Structure 1
Amino acid sequence: MELNVSTASQGGHALVTASGELDLYTAPRLQTALAGLLREEQIDRIVVDLSGVDFCDSTGMNVLLSAMKRLKERGGTLELAAPRTAVKRILQVTGLDTVFTIVEAVPAMDVG
């Protein structure tokens, strides 16, 4: 299965929308999108919309953790929005639900 990733940013906030399966083969797509945003110094908050992600393995989690760590080092935040049940379960089993900020709904962002 494919992973589709799109990004939108406004001011210092960015929204990354992922849909499909986040695994060993597709994680580089998400990593590339996040790395691009992390290169923009004005970005201090990234929300990753996981509402369309059906599956996520440890590779996908590591991509998200790495991005969160890099953003946190410069005073920013990374949030996971609207994860589906399967992804929530992985977060809970690994204890990462206490590491990531998880919000139930994708925040509205006006992108012009």
Structure 2
Amino acid sequence: MDGLRVSSHRHEGWTVVEVTGELDVATRNLLGDHLEEVMAAHTPARVVVDMSGLDFCDASGLSVLVAAHHAAKDRQGQLRLIYPQRSIRRLLQITELIEVMPVFDTVAQATATMQDH
């Protein structure tokens, strides 16, 4: 198991959280805790999760993203996703989460617009 690595930086008024490795039941708290800290630091909570380096995501990983989506909305913000790999994008489509959390190809695209989805 590769584990999960999480880091973040600010870009154009958004916090970009980069995740690499595997997001599953064993690593979900690492991302969840990081997202909670990021959102507590900024209102509105505008967060982009860069999933381009994520190799695997299971249902427990999706639940972290859903919780973060709701937390961002509660803080007058939004959660957006960057380029999940094909299998993860498919999972988002099947669960219809792609309709709730917009997916972009690049950080620049995700942070270029402030409109609600």
* Structure-to-structure mapping, 1:13-52, within 5 angstroms: 13-52=14-53
- Once the two structures are TM-superposed, the CA of residue 107 in structure 1 deviates from its matched residue by 2.4
Query: Does the CA contact (< 8 Å) of 1:12 and 1:44 recur in 2?
Result: no
**Ranges in structure 1 where 5+ consecutive residues have no aligned partner:** none
Higher percent of residues as helix: 2
- Once the two structures are TM-superposed, the CA of residue 19 in structure 1 deviates from its matched residue by 0.4
Corresponding residue for residue 4 of structure 2 = 3
**Ranges in structure 2 where 5+ consecutive residues have no aligned partner:** 112-117
3-state SS of paired residue (2:107): coil
Displaced runs of 4+ in structure 1, greater than 3 A?
Answer: none
Alpha-carbon distance in 2 for matches of 1:75, 1:42: 7
Evaluate the alpha carbon distance shift between residue 61 and residue 102 of structure 1 in structure 2; reply closer, same or farther with a 3 A threshold: same
Evaluate the alpha carbon distance shift between residue 10 and residue 106 of structure 1 in structure 2; reply closer, same or farther with a 3 A threshold: closer
3-state SS of paired residue (1:38): helix
Corresponding residue for residue 104 of structure 2 = 103
- Once the two structures are TM-superposed, the CA of residue 9 in structure 1 deviates from its matched residue by 2.2
Identity among equivalent positions (%) equals 36
Aligned residues: 109
TM-score (norm. length: structure 1): 0.88
Alpha-carbon distance in 2 for matches of 1:88, 1:15: 19
Two-structure CA RMSD over aligned residues (Å): 1.7
TM-score (norm. length: structure 2): 0.85
* Structure-to-structure mapping, 1:34-73, within 5 angstroms: 34-73=35-74
1:82 paired to 2:83? yes
